[in-house]
Amino acid sequence: MNQRQPLDTPTTAERLRQAAVELFAERGYDGTSMADIAERVGLAKASLYNYYAGKEDLLVDLVERSLAAWDAATLPALDLPGPLERRARLHFRAELDFVAREPYTIAIVNLAASLVSGFARARVHELLSAHREATFVRARRHLAEAIASGELPPGDPDDLLVYAEVFFNGLVLSQMSSPQLAAPVVERLPQLWQMFWRGLSGRPPRESDDP
Amino acid sequence: MNQRQPLDTPTTAERLRQAAVELFAERGYDGTSMADIAERVGLAKASLYNYYAGKEDLLVDLVERSLAAWDAATLPALDLPGPLERRARLHFRAELDFVAREPYTIAIVNLAASLVSGFARARVHELLSAHREATFVRARRHLAEAIASGELPPGDPDDLLVYAEVFFNGLVLSQMSSPQLAAPVVERLPQLWQMFWRGLSGRPPRESDDP
DNA sequence: CCTACCGATCGGTAGG
DNA sequence: CCTACCGATCGGTAGG
């Protein structure tokens, strides 16, 4: 380990990214100037250009890191042993925990997804498309396996895939878009999951341990 | 009718709004200048200020009109006679049709919802909160009536409400965020609806006429 | 990592 | 509804 206390002394680049994430999430991309970021880091504006070639490069890097953090937090649950019902439930719970724990990280991705100008637009859309495609491939495989094992009824895995995508997207959106109204979502997780799984499988969840 | 051919000769104010909707949706709020809008309408920039006090006032008015158009397109289906399953299905179909027909109108609302600065922020959030609250009150009433009539099983209407909210939000989001990948959503509407309703009610839809 | 600076663009206004 | 204009701010660079 030749890193010098990464927890106590984050590098300047890391402090730069943290400041940028906070400011972009709070004020938007266009609403945040390079001068704002420099001030929060405690540098002169010109010094930022030693770390990133420009504002758009900075955003693209933040998006890449955000997607990686999302995957690291949510994917492991899917590869646990056991029935898909439990693995998907833990995955789904990990998504909500991540949204609650790092709302700014999610905000960066949403903000970048609706970016409309500059060369960063194309690059960001490549990242998001690739991420979405990987998510689909993974979900399709898990669903097909659950059908093969008899845990889910025979049928087209893509029907289930679209249903699950809609539900998961809607849930993250509901929790993001109105934190004060999202309390009902978190409080009703067991009931929500039961309805979701009943819609997906045609039967209630087999087991019912951790929520 | 003392209107002079509103279909053939839209007023200048209407052309201004149409231009603003298109530009905001295509380039974002900050990415669109008042000069851009003026150019598309065919006016000098200063002339825009005869119609709106400023750029933020313009956005707020566009949001109000967008929400009204959404309601006008999607609410009537809910007040039809017949079982909730059919009325909700037609409502849900009307939402998707509206998203497909007027994507820019939806984009305006999404864009305004993520606005972060200026006095327009507070005003827009008031509009969106009130709209969401009205939606909730209406949905809660319809669900409670369906429980009372025996169409839905006994239980807390708010469990069903949150499930439906998540599903409907997720569906609009899926169709908006990736039009090229949304084809599967529209193509699988009957299957999607069947799974949704099975999750909500615990049984398959009673009838199955129009999709 | 900083001081000093630049060209471009912005929303909005004066005055008619 | 227009011409002409303003102060402010932006991302980025020169040069060290």
Residue B192 reports pLDDT greater than 90: yes
For the whole model, what pTM was predicted? Answer: 0.89
Q: Would you state the pLDDT for residue A175?
A: 85
- What's the pLDDT score for residue B20? 97
What letter does residue A114 receive in the DSSP assignment?
T
Q: What are phi and psi of A81, to 5 degrees?
A: -75, 165
Question: Which chain A residue is nearest to residue B163, measuring alpha carbons?
Answer: A192
CA distances from B203 to A152, B17, B210 (A): 17, 46, 19
Average pLDDT estimate for A163-177: 90
Q: Is the CB of A56 under 7 A from strand D?
A: yes
The three-state (H, E, C) secondary structure of B119-148, written as one string: HHHHHHHHHHHHHHHHHHHHHHHHHHHHHH
| C-beta atoms surrounding B179 within 10 Å | 11
Q: What is the pLDDT of residues B2-29, one digit of tens each?
A: 444 455 688 999 999 999 999 999 999 9
Residue at shortest CA–C1' distance from C13: B46
Taking an 8 Å cut-off on Cβ atoms, the answer to whether A200 and B196 are in contact is no
Cβ atoms of residues A165 and A139 within 8 Å: yes
pLDDT value of residue A147: 97
Residue of A nearest to B111 (CA): A114
Q: What angle do CA B190, B192, B193 make, to 5 degrees?
A: 65
Question: Nearest-CA distance from B26 to chain A in Å?
Answer: 7
Lowest model confidence (mean pLDDT) among A32-36, B23-27, B65-69, B207-211: B207-211
With an 8 Å Cβ cutoff, are A199 and B196 in contact?
yes
pLDDT tens by residue, B67-106: 999 999 999 999 999 999 999 999 999 999 999 999 999 9
CA distances from B159 to A189, B91, B162, B166 (A): 9, 20, 5, 11
Give the distance, in angstroms, between residue B33 CA and nucleotide C9 C1': 9
Average pLDDT over residues A113-117: 82
Instruction: Please return the burial class of B16, using the count of CB atoms within 10 Å of its CB with bins 0-12, 13-18 and 19+.
Output: buried
pLDDT tens, position by position, B114-151: 887 788 999 999 999 999 999 999 999 999 999 999 99
How far apart are alpha carbons B93 and B144 in whole angstroms? 22
Q: What count of other Cβ atoms lies within 10 Å of the Cβ of residue B86? A: 18
Q: Write out which nucleotides of chain C lie closer than 7 A to a protein Cβ.
A: 1-4, 9-15
